[in-house]
Amino acid sequence: MTVLHVVFKVAGAEYVLPAADVLQMESFTGATPVPGAASHVAGLVQVRGRVIPVVDARARFGLPPVERSLDSRVVVAQLGPRVVGLLVDSAREVLKLDPQQLKPPPSLVVEGARGFVKAVAQVGPRLVMLIDFPRVIGEETLDGDGQR
């Protein structure tokens, strides 16, 4: 039983997300900044009529910003009722991964990556990292008091 994963690149490193969590990939043409939002929030984009927040993966991973190119992609993912985009350097591949291939990351990586990396898989000569999406976009949850 292999699971389809979407592969994307941030600062040369390869990350994956289960394809089941990914709604679509969009090219990035800029986001509307939201004043007062966390610094890793690139802003709002409109995807098929829906307004969604986009998290800048570089900012979130503490990497220096780069000029956005034609390769830049917004990986739109579903997280429970939330739909959030992740801005990455590029995303153009899907991979089938056997759950057996996914190994817990070395403890040094866990610390260094602030828990963003959930597992690591070796695919031929490549290493791909499975990200913890909820963690990457931020720990914020909807208000507990059931408003809205």
Binding site for other proteins (CB under 8 A): 29-30, 32-38, 41, 43-46, 48-53, 55, 81-84, 137-138, 140-143, 147-148
| C-beta closer to other proteins: residue 24 or 122 | 24
| C-beta closer to other proteins: residue 30 or 106 | 30
| C-beta closer to other proteins: residue 41 or 102 | 41
The C-alpha atoms of residue 42 and residue 135 are separated, in whole angstroms, by 16
For the chain, count helices (H), then strands (E).
Answer: 3, 11
61: helix, strand or coil: coil
Q: How far is the CB of 34 from other proteins (least distance, A)?
A: 5
Q: How far is the CB of 60 from other proteins (least distance, A)?
A: 11
Q: How far is the CB of 97 from other proteins (least distance, A)?
A: 25
Which residue's structure tokens are 């927040």? 53
Residue 31 DSSP class: -
- Angle in degrees, CA 129, 30, 94, rounded to 5: 30
Judge whether 119 and 104 are in contact, CB under 8 Å. yes
| C-beta closer to other proteins: residue 68 or 97 | 68
